[in-house]
Amino acid sequence: MPSARRTCRSNELGAKREIAALFLGRGSAQVLLTVAAVLVAARLSIGGFGRGDVLAVAATISITGTAEWIIHKHLLHAPEDSWTSRTLDTGSGHRRHHLDPTDIDWLLLRGVDAAVFVTAFGAVTAAWTAPLMLITGSAVLGPFVTAWACAAIGLGHYEWVHLLVHTTYRPRTRYYRRLARNHRRHHYRNEGYWLGVTANSGDRLLGTYPRHPGDVPISGTARDLAAARRGTDGV
């Protein structure tokens, strides 16, 4: 449960320095930065960098947008009566986030949730790096650690971008400005589109990135995901 202490809201933050200070003080950032540092140190100690590491980095980057889409659509937006919601409770915090997008306690992961996610990422990473390395004739252990480190860094980047786009800070680069616009559209225009946070490649691939935002109808349930499900069920 979120703490009872009063924390500032994300729309009260505008300076990048104060956003970074808040981010670094949260449990998710502390867990993910620690895990990433440990994995980078482990990879350096293993040594023997080669083609497998290049493949691991390239593959991790290439699947980021699709992975975000799948997690967002099928875990975070899962119906309350789904197996993932009932067993893993993956959607309750995200439903609260949509109800109140600037509440930082529901915007960022808790430290324990970040630990669970990064551990799960390690298992998934092992599942695809081992066969890929064997097929390409590369060592397995080093590239696996490389890929897992990239996944941990990627999740930290996700948390940072997600916080940043919910503040009043306006990114300087066109790429991050586009991410910010698209994420606001997800929250305030239609929750079924723009599911990527750090990349929209999954949206483009899976049909949730409209050519013109105006082509997407304004949803009456973008703030209330449970109501969206009730409407689908005809309740």
Per-residue model confidence (pLDDT) at position 231: 47
pLDDT interval class at 226 (50, 70, 90) = confident
- Answer whether residue 4 shows pLDDT above 90: no
- Answer whether residue 235 shows pLDDT above 80: no
C-beta contacts of 158-161 below 8 A and 24+ residues apart: 158/68, 158/197, 158/198, 159/23, 159/26, 159/28, 159/29, 159/32, 159/108, 159/109, 159/114, 160/23, 160/29, 161/197, 161/198
Give me the mean pLDDT over the 34-51 stretch: 98
Give me the mean pLDDT over the 12-31 stretch: 97
- Mean pLDDT (the chain) is 92
pLDDT tens, 170-201? 999 999 999 999 999 999 999 999 999 999 99
Per-residue model confidence (pLDDT) at position 181: 97
Per-residue model confidence (pLDDT) at position 83: 78
- Answer whether residue 233 shows pLDDT above 50: no
Q: Where are the domains of the chain?
A: 25-233
Give me the mean pLDDT over the 36-41 stretch: 98
pLDDT interval class at 6 (50, 70, 90) = low
- Answer whether residue 234 shows pLDDT above 80: no
pTM to 2 decimals?
0.91
pLDDT tens, 58-91? 999 999 999 999 999 999 998 888 777 777 777 8
